[in-house]
Structure 1
């Protein structure tokens, strides 16, 4: 009988880094997590527009996205009821395990995610509330239900930036309403709603992200 773990894992060989291992000592880390059906190279395109101090690591989600998508997924795309909680937590725990495996420990860890990756940002903060300095959620949402870390987040109120477009027709209205209710009670919330923007990131959003990260540093 095989004893190989079936739990999802982050492929360390697929991580895109902005700095070599020798240049990561004594620096904060910013972890990027892409959306459903995308890949680790997607959000890494933001790197030249972000502050230089943090080392950036862009992760590949652990699941192959379903056909006909040619990319990767953090969890199965859900309905308006939301994704499967266990599946989301397994992927969050995979990211935490990857962080634990790093040979150079960052001085702090920030999170940035788009769509499903944005949901991962909040789920990671809920799984390990004291581990992450801040979160950036772009066109993302909080998953339904309660997590053990929610009480601690309600007390510590870590900084979170939430950006979304008024023309986003991908994220269910129920997920937006759930996130609108949850974030003010569990974070120090800032962000912006971008008029006319669909399910994406615009130049104003990139500038806002940069300013938010600079304030955390």
Structure 2
């Protein structure tokens, strides 16, 4: 069992200014930390309050959500464990936020999709940047998610050398079957996030949560 360090959560607003606002959970990539995606907040819609989490497992100079194995194809159960740790944190917030969305990069993107599976119909949307869907879900799990068809933005670069092509193809096909997906591919972008992609993410956020 893994847990999220609540003292390490980086909030975009002080405690007294969070309640009643839609929440977006930020999930960093492997080897990174909670201050990484926090840097995106100034470029994202101010309609939301953002909470950037630290993954539970030490990895190099940073942290990992679950142990690494084959690139793009981790063991399924530890990803569920990480998702349950995030859900415990979200549950502890009670009804402070009218909605909760997800934004994850790379390994954090895979966790975002696992969270959609773990609690179908709960999250308003997921933004998956350079991420992938984890293989091996029981059929009933994905069937439950397909019934809710959450809104998902899936962005990636066309020269990303980190996420294997088979994982990308798997993710594109899976999202088409299980979500209301908006997929964008960015020419010349490697394993990172561009300003063009951030602009598209903001447009997506505006559609899922109109001002």
Name the TM tier (shorter chain). over 0.9
User: TM-score, normalised to structure 1's length?
Assistant: 0.92
Which position in structure 2 is the counterpart of 1:216? Answer: 208
Paired residue for 2:184, among 182, 188, 192? 192
C-alpha displacement of 1:119: 0.1
Conserved? CA contact 1:80–1:174, under 8 Å: no
Indicate yes or no: 2:138 matched with 1:144: no
Which position in structure 1 is the counterpart of 2:26? Answer: 32
Which position in structure 1 is the counterpart of 2:16? Answer: 22
C-alpha displacement of 1:131: 1.1
Which position in structure 1 is the counterpart of 2:80? Answer: 89
Q: Deviations over 1:124-179 (max 9, x none)?
A: 00000111000000000000012443112212211100000011000112211210
Q: Between Structure 1 and Structure 2, how many residues are aligned?
A: 208
Paired residue for 2:97, among 98, 106, 110? 106
**Structure 2 residue ranges without an equivalent (≥5):** none
C-alpha displacement of 1:78: 2.2
Compute the RMSD of aligned alpha carbons: 1.2
Conserved? CA contact 1:24–1:104, under 8 Å: no
Q: Secondary structure at the match of 1:36?
A: coil
Paired residue for 1:130, among 103, 121, 127? 121
Q: Deviations over 1:173-216 (max 9, x none)?
A: 22112102100000001021001110000110111111111111
User: TM-score, normalised to structure 2's length?
Assistant: 0.95
Once residues 70 and 6 of structure 2 are traced to their aligned partners in structure 1, the CA distance between those partners, rounded to angstroms, is: 31
Q: Secondary structure at the match of 2:191?
A: coil
**Structure 1 residue ranges without an equivalent (≥5):** 1-6
Conserved? CA contact 1:163–1:205, under 8 Å: yes
